[in-house]
Amino acid sequence: MCFRVEVFLCFIVNMVNFYNQQNRDNHSESAGRAASLPQNVSAKSAKANINKYTDPTGEFSGEEFKWGIWFVKNKLLLYRLLIISLIIFCAGTVGFSLWQGANFLIYDFTVKPQQDLQLARATNYAALQPQFSPAPLEILNSFVLPGGTNKVDAVAEMANPNSRFVVRFDYYFNFGGQKTETRSALVLPLASKPVAVLGLDNSVYQGGGELVIENIKWSRVSAHEVSDTLSWQTERLNFLVENFVFTPAGGLNNPSANTITFDLKNDSPFGFKNPQFLLGLYQGGTMVGITQFDLTDFASQETRLMDLRNFVPGLIADEIKLFPVIDLYDKTVYLPPKKE
């Protein structure tokens, strides 16, 4: 449509120019025509109104005719604006490409050689391993205690120096080539405890017993679950021992067995399913005997009267220490909360 308007306007312009050329010297006719106009009609009112133009062919309206005239008048301006826009666009894109190319060149000649050199160096992971791996399990002492008539108990004291690792392992005692049965044990983070094999026949297991540890497995305690392992464990292993009485054998009521009585209270807010305990017997701060006992479900704030027997002849104890054998990081060991 714009093309047709432009052709039409060019035709009109040429016709006007042709008419003016034909009548360039005929001023009298123009003057006469102007004189023939009424005096009350001004030149402005005599000017044709484009908006009222009606195309006899019906192809375009007066509004389209007006826009066609505007386009012809401003065609050069629009052309210049287009050229300027293209120049700005090309300058921007070419400038950005040159800038990025310079960055790539700088990277290739300065940064990349240093990165390649660093990647070519072998990382010493053995040096990094101590920072993330657990420290070895410590064996503080290993000894044999009398365990009753013709019996001995093999005992070893263990310590876990790691604050974020639980250690589980299998162990046995070697008496000069004679091995005891293999047992399993665990030591909680930052905890120490004895491990033992009780009731060994002293005619078979003679001399000192050497502790042998196998199948050591370390389990990391997540800091998201337990922020402070020591306080977390202390809160759960809050067992109180009160009213301890040791009665040696020889009386009418216990002629052959030593009697150990005490009150055991679960002062933690957690109950445990069938917990197991080792009880160390001490005299003057030195362990002189050890025994083991199990409990049925031990509820929170529950107190039980313990009455244990020991058949070691001549045993005297003035102190006892309780060592829970409970895997606190196993959720199945806890009793469900009581329903009110």
When pLDDT is averaged across residues 333-337 and rounded to a whole number, the result is 93
SS percent in the chain: helix, strand, coil, step 5: 35, 35, 35
Write the DSSP string, 261-316.
EEEEEE-SS--BSS-EEEEEEEETTEEEEEEEEE-S-B-TT-EEEEEEEE--TT--
Task: Tell me the domains of the chain and their CATH numbers.
Answer: 133-220 (2.60.40.3230), 237-333 (2.60.40.1620)
pLDDT tens-digit series, residues 223-265 = 999 999 999 999 999 999 999 999 998 876 677 899 999 999 9
When pLDDT is averaged across residues 197-213 and rounded to a whole number, the result is 92
* pTM for the whole structure: 0.63
CA pair distance 88, 94, nearest whole angstrom: 10
SS3 call for 238? coil
Confidence of residue 70 (pLDDT cuts 50, 70, 90): confident
Higher pLDDT, residue 186 or 21: 186
Residue 94, H or E segment = helix 75-106
Residue 187 has pLDDT above 90, yes or no: yes
User: What is the pLDDT at residue 297?
Assistant: 95
Confidence of residue 51 (pLDDT cuts 50, 70, 90): low
For all residues of the chain together, what is the average pLDDT? 83
Confidence of residue 101 (pLDDT cuts 50, 70, 90): confident
pLDDT tens-digit series, residues 11-24 = 444 444 444 444 44
User: What is the pLDDT at residue 24?
Assistant: 47
CA pair distance 198, 52, nearest whole angstrom: 121
SS (H, E, C) 42-80: CHHHHCCCHHHCCCCCCCCCHHHHHHHHHHHHCHHHHHH
Confidence of residue 35 (pLDDT cuts 50, 70, 90): very low
Q: What is the dihedral of CA 156, 160, 166, 171, to 10 degrees?
A: -20
